[in-house]
Structure 1
């Protein structure tokens, strides 16, 4: 289909997007990026391709380029919770928790059932030192999806920092039940054991 002369640019853009998405599932970011670039060359206002390319760029720690794509995606589709969520993640990568919280709050407003937005916003609140809001968001994410390892780990860290060793231990053990090789959770449990937790 990609080499057929009679196929419209819109359809070719869709085919590149689909193949790029398959490359992402296979863990091949560079090939996925080539396809997303081509999809956007053929269809510059392709919001899903902009968001997907931004996700690849975030994984490559190219946060400014990701934000540029997400700014455009939001202009095209201002009700896209995933675009706001991804831009919030990019701002977290840039160590700008204030902008991240604003975007993640908008993502939650648009889709209050997405645990990933609560997890990331909770992490941003941790950075700003707002522990009660961080705890609320992380607990909300975990109540929606008990396999949110980032939320479990960060909530465990909050519990440990607040002296609640029992709850901290439970969260770190839950992380290890999901991801047995999680080095940070193992280290936290070892530290708790040394202090009698």
Structure 2
């Protein structure tokens, strides 16, 4: 992580955990404005140009020699626990995970702050250590049962295990609370995805529409909604969503693959082949993409007399 990203991460962590830090960001612009105003009034530069001659206010002020040392400026120090919390949320891999563990084991924070640290550590572990992540989400929810981020992340693990009913229980709680805009969008997306896998396409579309309304630039939301529309045979709407996904994630071949499936299903194999050729350029080493492209190439060529028999004119 570069220095700019690290500073941004530290600022975000401080903003969320330290009210005095937030207050200082409101206070310092006012203090600076007062300081600059005073400087302008006390030491205005001489005006000798087209606007007139120098006035008495432009004369330099005589400076007295310093007779005493300046009073040291008091600085606010960050206690070690807050530094560990900041490191926990800095997203530096194992270093951040270890920092979260030190905060938890230290026993010096409680309440919502402790729940957030448990959730952060669980989030970092959920791919490689889902059981440990689940334990952390359970611990966070034991401390704060209405913590939306922990509910969403626990539901994600349930869905990776195919337990969509358990996921829906958590997600129903999450969307039913006055959840912040971002976590609420994730909850609607996850719940829509769960309904999709349970083949309840009407409910899936309702939730995915809400997720997109709240976070219209999240590419995966369009992919899921396109899949729900495809299942209902709303092929034009599905194609629009798959194209929106590809627009927002141009290096991800999934939108092109989904597009190819619909085009082949609706009797447009040549257009489907174009989508597969484009997908193959994005992932040239993907065996599935290559096999699908080659299969469709064969079908298109077999149906094209000019290509299958290049020495003979096509039948009339």
Calculate the TM-score normalised by the size of structure 1. Answer: 0.89
Q: Which has the higher helix share?
A: 1
Which residue of the partner structure matches residue 220 of structure 2? 116
Q: Which has the higher contact order (CA 8 A, sep 6+)?
A: 1
- Secondary structure of 1:196's counterpart equals helix
Q: Is the counterpart of residue 99 in structure 1 residue 203 in structure 2?
A: yes
Alignment-derived partner of residue 85 in structure 1? 189
Please say if residues 63 and 90 of structure 1, whose CA atoms lie closer than 8 Å, have aligned partners that are also in contact: yes
Is 1:130 equivalent to 2:234 in the alignment? yes
Q: CA shift at 1:177, angstroms? A: 4.1
**1:30 equivalent in structure 2:** 131
Residue in 2 aligned with 1:169? Answer: 273
Q: Does 1:45 align with 2:143?
A: no
1:181 corresponds in structure 2 to 286
User: 2:92 — aligned with what?
Assistant: none
Q: Which residue of structure 1 lines up, in the alignment, with residue 166 of structure 2?
A: 65
- The answer on whether the counterparts of 2:273 and 2:297 sit within 8 Å (CA) in structure 1 is no
Aligned alpha-carbon RMSD (Å): 1.9
Partner of 1:10: 112
How far residue 186 of structure 1 moved from its aligned partner, in angstroms, is 3.4
In structure 2, distance between residues paired with 1:94 and 1:133: 21
- Determine which of 74, 81, 93 is the counterpart of 2:175: 74
Query: Structure 1, unaligned stretches of length 5 or more?
Result: none
DSSP 3-state at the match of 2:275? helix
The alpha carbon displacement at 1:182 in A equals 5.3
Q: Relative to 1, partners in 2 of residues 1:191 and 1:33: Cα closer, same or farther, differing over 3 Å? A: same
Q: Residues of 2 paired with 1:136 and 1:189: CA distance?
A: 22
Structure 1 distance, partners of 2:198, 2:252, is: 22
Task: Tell me the residue number matched to 2:259.
Answer: 155
The correspondence for 1:56, drawn from 157, 162, 176, is 157
Stretch of structure 1 that moved more, 147-156 or 123-132: 147-156
Taking the aligned partners of 1:191 and 1:53, their CA distance within structure 2 comes to 40
The number of aligned residues is 195
Cα distance in 2 between the residues matched to 1:182 and 1:123: 23
State the TM-score, normalizing by the size of structure 2.
0.57
Distance 1:182 1:61 in 2: 26
- Per-residue CA shift, 1:23-58, capped at 9, x if unaligned? 02x522221111111111111111011111111111
SS in 2 for 1:53: helix
C-alpha distance in structure 1 between counterparts of 2:135 and 2:259, whole Å: 38
